[in-house]
């Protein structure tokens, strides 16, 4: 299969070649023809599978071939949950559009930076806006853009956008869009309730699911190491030193901003170039950290789940879950940071007696059964806390812990142990 055969214009085929895409990925092969036909689409694909180009290429083609005369109104809106993802999708669109005879105007807008330059760039309208929901609404409230001409709507990381945190904003945005439009929803996962919301928005959608297809999921080796919570930083240091020459850049996930700071500081004090990355760090600094990480000026980034989505760093070979993610979906997003576009990757998760049950929930959800490893010198000694009470009898006489109790206890046990390892 080649990009030629998907119905794309020569300029876009050339753009794909220029970016080094030899052949379409599975999601691209399935989604591009359906989008070019004007159909709605719900696409499930792992991060790293080429989702961005899967919607960007046909979106550019449709916009250019169907450009109306007259004043520019926003005709395509790409909504994303994070600033980093907005920046990245915006860059991809700009680059893919470079060879088009008539270049569309693309504006990227996200919060955390001054709104004025974004308002300036929207003067005279724009063809494509890539935005996070909050900033888009701010711009609409300032009359910097109108959304009633949107013919194509893309929700990238749609599961996150349907989350409670965004629900209100998303609702307000959808109200401003015309009823007739093409809707493209992409996500690594579509849990039941999210799928129902998604389907409520879609009209006879093409359903593209390349999740389990052999050869399409990035090649990621998943390892699980048992270690007591209080020894994780030492184990991390040990692994980083041991694999210094082979790993290169490493992304370490922790549960809280505080943990990101303390773990990064401890590594740094031990001669490892590590830097924290979380939502409390200014947007400009975050962008600098990522670009320095790409240039290998940092060896280790210790991040909260803020970094689990949207960051594409070629040759990021290793991701380490120092703290487990809260949800099974986040596990996939985190490990999707490695092994992108067919490169091989390694994802290591630290589990302890008290987080084993939570990790089993993650495994079960993804149909995994991963062997547990122990590293010499770091063998755990702690035992799992009882799930209901200390007597070990199952709590109130005659009442055994329900499945819900167990899940609750497992989730509680998976909470970070702030202040440990002082
Ligand atoms: P995405 O899933 O959109 O975040 O893309 C992950 C990575 O795959 C990005 O670095 C893309 O540049 C790259 N990519 C996208 N499509 C292809 C392709 N057809 N062949 C090779 N790499 C690709």
Output the CATH code of domain 3-209. Answer: 3.40.50.300
Question: What is the spatial distance between Cα 57 and Cα 78, in angstroms, rounded to a whole number?
Answer: 13
The pLDDT score that the predictor gives to residue 421 is 30
- Asked whether 410 lines ligand 1 (CB < 6 A), one says no
Q: Which of 24-33, 118-127, 234-243, 277-286 has the lowest mean pLDDT?
A: 277-286
* Any atom of ligand 1 within 6 Å of the Cβ of 341: yes
The whole-number average pLDDT for the span 260-288 is: 91
Q: Distance between CA atoms of 52 and 43, rounded to whole angstroms? A: 11
Give the separation between CA 364 and CA 385, rounded to whole angstroms: 21
Indicate the pLDDT class of residue 306, thresholds 50, 70 and 90.
Answer: confident
Ligand 1 centre to CA of 387 (Å) is: 44
Q: Which atom of ligand 1 is nearest to the CA of 24?
A: 19
CA of 180 to the centre of ligand 1 (A): 30
> What average pLDDT score do residues 123-136 get?
94
Reported as a pLDDT band with limits 50, 70 and 90, residue 360 is very high
Atom of ligand 1 nearest to the CA of 46: 2
Residue 348 has pLDDT above 80, yes or no: yes
How much is the pLDDT for 389? Answer: 46
Nearest-CA residue for atom 20 of ligand 1:
21
pLDDT per residue over 180-227, tens digit each? 999 999 988 787 778 888 888 999 999 988 764 433 345 788 899 999
In this prediction, residue 206 carries a pLDDT of 92
* pLDDT reported for residue 17: 92
Domain 219-373 part of CATH 3.20.20.70 = no
Q: Is 340 in the pocket of ligand 1 (CB under 6 A)?
A: yes
* pLDDT of 396 above 70: no
Verify whether ligand 1 is closer than 6 Å to residue 48 (CB atom). yes
Q: Average pLDDT, stretch 264-281?
A: 92
Q: What is the model's pLDDT at position 335?
A: 83
d(CA 139, CA 133): 10
Q: Which residue matches tokens 């709590």? A: 395
Q: Comparing C-alpha atoms, which of 341, 342, 347 is closest to residue 322?
A: 347
Kindly give the distance from the C-alpha atom of residue 339 to the centroid of ligand 1, in angstroms, as a whole number: 11
Q: 319 and 247 in contact (C-beta within 8 Å)?
A: no
* 134 CA → ligand 1 middle, Å: 27
Summarised one tens digit per residue, pLDDT across range 47-101 is 678 899 999 999 999 987 766 655 568 999 999 998 888 999 999 999 999 989 8
pLDDT classification of 317: cutoffs 50, 70, 90: confident
- Which residue among 23, 50, 332 is best mutated to probe the pocket of ligand 1, counting the most ligand atoms within 8 A of its Cβ? 50
Q: How far away, in angstroms, is 145 Cα from ligand 1 center?
A: 30
Residue 378, pLDDT above cutoff 60:
yes
The predicted structure's pLDDT at residue 39:
95
**Total count of residues recorded for the chain:** 422
Beta-sheet strand order (sheet of 318-321): 274-277, 300-303, 250-253, 318-321, 345-351, 220-226, 372-373
For ligand 1, is residue 28 a contact (CB within 6 Å)? yes
pLDDT confidence bin for 340, thresholds 50/70/90: low
Q: Is 24 in the pocket of ligand 1 (CB under 6 A)?
A: yes
Residues 350-378: what's their mean pLDDT?
A: 91
210 Cβ closer than 6 Å to some ligand 1 atom: no
What is d(CA 54, CA 39) in angstroms, rounded to the nearest whole number? 14
Interval between CA 262 and ligand 1 midpoint (Å): 34
Centroid of ligand 1 to alpha carbon of 318 (angstroms): 18
On the question of a common fold for 3-209 and 219-373, the answer reads: yes
Domain assignments of the chain as residue spans, ordered by start: 3-209, 219-373
CB-CB neighbours of 61 under 10 Å? 21
Least confident residue range of 90-104, 234-248, 392-406: 392-406
| 397 contact partners, CB below 8 Å, separation of at least 6 | none
* Average pLDDT of span 360-372: 87
CA of 316 relative to ligand 1 center, distance in Å: 14
What share of the chain has pLDDT > 70, as a percent? Answer: 83
Give 176 Cα–ligand 1 centroid separation in angstroms: 32
According to DSSP H, which parts of 37-157 are helical?
A: 51-65, 83-97, 116-121, 133-141
Least confidently predicted of 67-81, 117-131, 404-418: 404-418
Mean pLDDT within 307-328: 78
Q: Is the confidence at residue 353, as pLDDT, over 90?
A: yes
Pocket perturbation via mutation, ligand 1, pick of 15, 19, 49, 53 by most ligand atoms within 8 A of CB:
53
Opening angle at CA 334, ends 366 and 339, nearest 5: 90
């Amino acid at each position: 299969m080649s990009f030629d055969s998907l119905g794309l214009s020569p300029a876009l085929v050339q753009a794909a070649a220029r970016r080094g895409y030899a052949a379409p990925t599975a999601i691209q092969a399935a989604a591009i023809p359906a989008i070019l036909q004007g159909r709605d689409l719900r696409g499930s694909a792992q991060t790293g599978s080429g989702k961005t180009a899967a919607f960007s290429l046909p979106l550019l083609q449709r916009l250019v071939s169907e450009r109306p005369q007259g004043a520019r109104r926003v005709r395509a809106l790409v909504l994303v949950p994070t600033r980093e993802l907005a920046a990245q999708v915006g860059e991809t669109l700009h680059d893919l559009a470079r060879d088009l005879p008539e270049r569309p105007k693309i504006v990227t807008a996200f919060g955390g930076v001054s709104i004025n330059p974004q308002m300036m760039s929207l003067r005279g309208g724009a063809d494509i806006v890539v935005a996070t929901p909050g900033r888009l609404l701010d711009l609409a409230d300032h009359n910097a853009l109108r959304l009633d001409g949107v013919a194509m709507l893309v929700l990238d990381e749609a599961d996150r956008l349907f989350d409670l945190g965004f629900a209100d904003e998303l609702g307000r945005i959808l109200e401003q869009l015309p009823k007739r439009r093409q809707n493209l929803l992409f996500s690594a996962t579509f849990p039941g309730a999210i799928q129902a919301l998604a389907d409520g928005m879609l009209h006879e959608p093409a359903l593209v699911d390349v999740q389990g297809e052999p050869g399409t999921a990035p090649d990621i080796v998943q390892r699980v190491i048992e270690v007591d919570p209080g020894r994780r930083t030492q184990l991390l240091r040990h692994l980083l030193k041991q694999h210094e020459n082979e790993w290169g850049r490493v992304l370490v996930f922790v549960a809280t901003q505080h943990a990101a700071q303390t773990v990064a500081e401890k590594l740094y004090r031990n001669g490892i170039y590590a830097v924290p990355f979380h939502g409390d760090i200014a947007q400009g600094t975050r962008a600098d950290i990522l670009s320095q990480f790409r240039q290998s000026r940092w060896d280790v980034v210790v991040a909260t789940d803020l970094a689990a989505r949207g960051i594409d760093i070629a040759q990021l070979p290793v991701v380490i879950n120092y703290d487990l993610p809260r949800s099974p979906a986040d596990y996939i997003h985190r490990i999707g940071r490695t092994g992108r576009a067919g490169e091989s990757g390694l994802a290591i998760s630290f589990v302890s007696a008290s987080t084993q049950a939570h990790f089993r929930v993650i495994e079960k959800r993804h149909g995994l059964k991963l062997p547990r490893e122990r590293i010499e010198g770091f063998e755990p000694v702690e035992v799992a806390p009882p799930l209901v009470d200390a007597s070990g009898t199952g709590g109130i006489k005659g009442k055994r812990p329900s499945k819900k109790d167990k899940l609750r206890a497992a989730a509680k046990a998976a909470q970070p142990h702030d202040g440990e390892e002082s």
